[in-house]
Amino acid sequence: MKDFLEVLDQLYKKVLVGATLENDTRDYICCLRPAFSDHSGSGTASSQRAITLGVQGKWPPSPVHPSPVPVAPAPGKSSAGDLTLLRLTVIQVMVTRILSVETEFQAKEKYREIIAVLLKSSDLDSQLICMFQDSDKLLSHVAAKCLAWLLYFQLREKITLSNSWIAFCQKNLSEYSESDKVVYCLWTLTAVIKEIFKDTCSQKSELLQQLLTPLDAPFEVFYNSFFSQHLDGPPGTCHLANTLLGVLELLELLIASRTHRDLHFTCQRILFLKPSCVLDVITWPVQAFVKRKFVIFLKKCLLWKAGEDLCRGAVAALAPPDRHLEGDMAALAAAVLQAVDLGLLRTLSVHGKPSCFAGGEVQPGCERPPGPDHVILRAASLLVIKSLEIKIQKCASAKEMKGDLQRYMSELLTFLRPHLQPSVQAHNPCEWLSRVFIEQDDDMLEAARASLGIYLKLTREYEAAQNLAQEKETWNQHTHENGYNPHCIFLFFLKNIGFDSTVLLDFLISSETCFLEYFVRYLKLLPKDWDAFFTICKYFDVTECTDSRNTCGRIASLVQDTSSNHTESRPLAALGSHRSAQACVSWASEASPEPPNQVVISRESHATPQAGGRASLPAAQSLVDYDTSDESEVEPPDLCSANSKQTSVHQDATEKIQDTVGTGRGKKELSSELQSGPAVPKAPDAPFSVDCDEAPRNVVHEVGTSYRTVKCFQELQAAISRLQRKNLFPYNPTALLRLLKQIEAICNKSTNPL
């Protein structure tokens, strides 16, 4: 056995580097056939023949250095199980070498001949299926992996798919029982679909057609029987969790395969045809992490992002959807909202153990107070808001939309309120979105886009009924009470990024979020709703001034209490009164060489840096460092429509952008463009500071939130124009620039009516 292991080890090293095999094909077949007698510990005639070939030197030593990849165990520790594992590993590597473009043609043909003969001359697939039930879990896993590669080889080489495996899957899917057989069936099917997605060939639809045709009906039977279980009692077994996760992964890949429009299998749509089955899992007595995965899975399905994490960019995200997609999404959204009506959010386990590096155990004395699971909070929130958007787009009457919105948003806000500390302020429930999604930009923008879509749909319906003007005050109150006012949501977003235009630029040139679509839709709304935006800006200023005054009042009280005991307290008292005086409004004189700074909000409640002082505030870091390159070559433009999907070309463009905005030479040019561009709301001529109660109304809003927002837009416009002139912007920003200029024109008109 020791000699035979050495022969296999030499063969493994050759195949690993793609070396050409010189011996007769039958010799390698005898060596690679995983006979059961070997696994039981006894030798075979074929093994003896392979050993003889190796001893006689008919297999020359490998001409290359051994690969650092782990190979067989040391000969002294060898066993029959090790021989079988090494055989299966060699077969798997040989298949990968056949499909690799880096393998030489002569070596590839030899490997292809060996695998084809091995499949025909022995029941290799049947033997691998039998290994699924082996007590050695490592052996059963490697056998399933090897079988998946062989199935994929058969698909690529247009060989008839293994009848043994098809029969195995049909039987275990149609007759579901609590055994590991169905888990391995799901796993091998999932592995083959993953390889199809990863492949660069153009026949993916044909491969999926051949693979799914015999398994479509059995999978539907399995789906119905498996999810119709009624489980009560303590959390389920590990087998149930493994099966659920296997089904979940396969469902996600099947949904992702819908991008290939010429496929019309029931298994690809079964989640949307019977969504309540999957939603019921959230109420099953299973582990919390399983429920979390199902909630995240449903969220990705509604966002049409299924399969993103399972394939290396192989899912054709830009492919046009099939004709059933719109109806399927509506069915899934309706099922989610029905589950919310039945108490879905109240069944979610939000509290869990904190995640720790290198494990989940915390040393004594280092315990932290338990907090909510923000992942499940974000997923559940986005699941509800996206479902609500889809449902409202289908509603016919404004009254029905308003009722649905009030019911489901009330349920969502009630669910979130205990888990947001400090709690969302009662005077502005719209803050929930920025609080929940503060750590996840892509989900935050998806939620903002969905809430904006809801607002636009309701606005159109009210305008069509000519009721919006009559019920303006009631309408505004409704948008705030239910947390979907688009101006509040956008302003909270700007506050979180410190009104930093470079952060907006980073989002615009990134393909990782939907910010471009959301931003364009909001800019189109803003001119029509300018008065409401301006009113909300003043409301933000008053609220922040009130909060800052209360904070400064507490500081002043503390200073007064300690002044009798500490003679050095006078400077602190002066500092406290100075803060109190400047908590609401402060700006620099226009005689300053820098542009006038806008309102400095007290940082006791909101740590938002000044938009005019980014260089001195490291907290307002942008996602891309613009200060690392002074010389960049101009790249040919890659123009496409402004509302198209951004692609990987953004990464190339980002590397060329670095000298266009920021500090240094780029900052001087940017400042000159800002000074010569359209005016924004102007600050007074002299420095001024005033308490909130005494601040003139015509001053607070001019230098407050509205001023900072418009100035941020102006800086963004200048940066985009600069990049466009140098052909560095990754798509055509003409429409976006037109919208930004329109906002500036409206602002100039409102500040200079004459």
- Residue 486's alpha-carbon distances to 449, 453, 480, in angstroms, are 9, 9, 9
Greatest mean pLDDT among 421-430, 458-467, 693-702 lies in: 458-467
For residues 389-394, average pLDDT: 92
pLDDT in tens, 256-274: 988 776 788 999 999 999 9
Is the separation of the CB atoms in 282 and 344 below 8 Å? yes
What secondary structure letter does DSSP report for 426? T
Find all residues with CB under 8 Å of 571, minimum gap 6, and list them. Answer: none
CA dist., res. 278 & res. 525, Å (int): 38
CA–CA distance, 697 with 704 (Å, rounded to integer): 11
Q: How many CB atoms lie within 10 A of CB 41?
A: 11
Give the C-alpha separation, 596 to 592, whole Å.
Answer: 7
DSSP, res 635: P
Q: Under 8 Å CB-to-CB from 384, ≥6 apart: which residues?
A: 336, 337, 340, 345, 408, 411, 412
Tell me which DSSP letter residue 729 carries.
Answer: S
Kindly tell me if the per-residue pLDDT of 183 is higher than 50.
yes
Task: Specify whether the CB–CB gap between 337 and 394 falls below 8 A.
Answer: no
- Which residues are CB-neighbours of 421 under 8 A, at least 6 positions away? none
The pLDDT of residue 368: 60
Rounded to whole angstroms, the Cα distance separating 237 from 542 reads 56
Please name every residue paired with 351 in a beta bridge, in sequence order, or none if there are none. 372
pLDDT in tens, 89-145: 999 999 999 999 899 999 999 999 999 988 887 788 899 999 998 888 899 999 999
How many Cβ atoms sit within 10 Å of the Cβ of residue 2? 10
Contact 635, 659 (CB under 8 A): no
Is there a contact between 27 and 50 (Cβ–Cβ < 8 Å)?
A: yes
CA 704, chain centre distance (Å): 34
Count CB atoms within 10 A of the CB of residue 512: 12
Looking at residue 549, what is its pLDDT? 54
Predicted local confidence at residue 115, as pLDDT: 93
**Main-chain phi, psi angles of 101, to 5 degrees:** -80, -10
Distance CA 720, CA 240 (A): 53
Cα(169)–Cα(410) distance, rounded to whole angstroms?
Answer: 46
Instruction: Report which of residues 162 and 548 the model is more confident about.
Output: 162
User: What SS3 state is found at 414?
Assistant: helix
CA distances from 57 to 62, 74, 222 (A): 12, 21, 53
Per DSSP, the three-state class of 165 is helix
Give dist(CA 119, CA 524) in Å, integer: 62
Say if residue 27's pLDDT is above 90: no
CA angle 401, 419, 549 (to 5 degrees): 95
Report the alpha-carbon distance of residue 213 to residue 216 in Å, rounded: 6
**437 has pLDDT over 90:** yes
Taking CA atoms, 181 is separated from 35, 175, 220, in Å, by 21, 11, 17
Give the Cα-Cα-Cα angle 663, 668, 674 (nearest 5 degrees).
110
pLDDT band at 476 (very low <50, low <70, confident <90, very high): confident
Whats the size of the chain, residue-wise? 754
Residue 338 sits at the vertex; the CA angle it makes with 413 and 485, to the nearest 5 degrees, is 35
- The chain-wide mean pLDDT, for the chain, equals 74
DSSP assignment of 205-231, as one string?
HHHHHHHHGGGHHHHHHHHHHHHT---
Q: Tell me, what DSSP letter sits at residue 356?
A: B
Side chain identity at residue 265, one-letter code? F
Give the gyration radius of the chain's Cα atoms: 32
Q: What's the confidence (pLDDT) of residue 663?
A: 37
Beta partners for 690?
A: 585
The SS3 assignment for 614 reads helix
* pLDDT of 550 strictly over 90: no
Q: What is the pLDDT of residue 177?
A: 75
- Segment among 113-127, 150-164, 584-598 with least mean pLDDT: 584-598
Report how far residue 553's alpha carbon sits from residue 428's, in angstroms, rounded to the nearest whole number.
23
Question: Apex CA 63: angle with CA 57 and CA 66, to 5°?
Answer: 105
| Beta carbons of 107 and 115 less than 8 angstroms apart | no
pLDDT band at 561 (very low <50, low <70, confident <90, very high): very low
pLDDT over 50 at 626, yes or no: no
Closest CA to 87 of 139, 25, 48: 139
- Domain map of the chain by residue range? 1-35+78-158, 161-313+320-349
Q: Is 642 helix (H, G, I), strand (E, B) or coil?
A: coil
Tell me what the mean pLDDT of segment 626-643 comes to: 36
- The CA angle 253-259-263, to the nearest 5 degrees, is 90
Query: In terms of pLDDT, which residue wins out, 23 or 390?
Result: 390
Q: Does 604 have pLDDT greater than 80?
A: no
Integer angstrom CA distances of residue 259 from 41, 174, 197, 263: 49, 27, 11, 9
Q: 47-84: per-residue pLDDT in tens?
A: 444 444 443 444 433 333 333 333 444 444 447 788 89
In this structure, of 215-224, 428-437, 549-558, the range with the lowest mean pLDDT score is 549-558
Q: Please answer whether residues 487 and 606 qualify as being in contact, where contact means their C-beta atoms are separated by less than 8 angstroms.
A: no
- Distance between first and last Cα of the chain: 98
Tell me which DSSP letter residue 258 carries: G
Q: CA angle at residue 432 from 426 to 434, to 5 degrees?
A: 130
Q: Is the peptide bond before 422 cis (omega within 30 degrees of 0)?
A: yes
DSSP-assigned beta bridge partners for residue 356:
359
Both tokens assigned to 569: 């307290």
Distance of CA 647 to the CA centre of its chain: 15
pLDDT of residue 619: 35
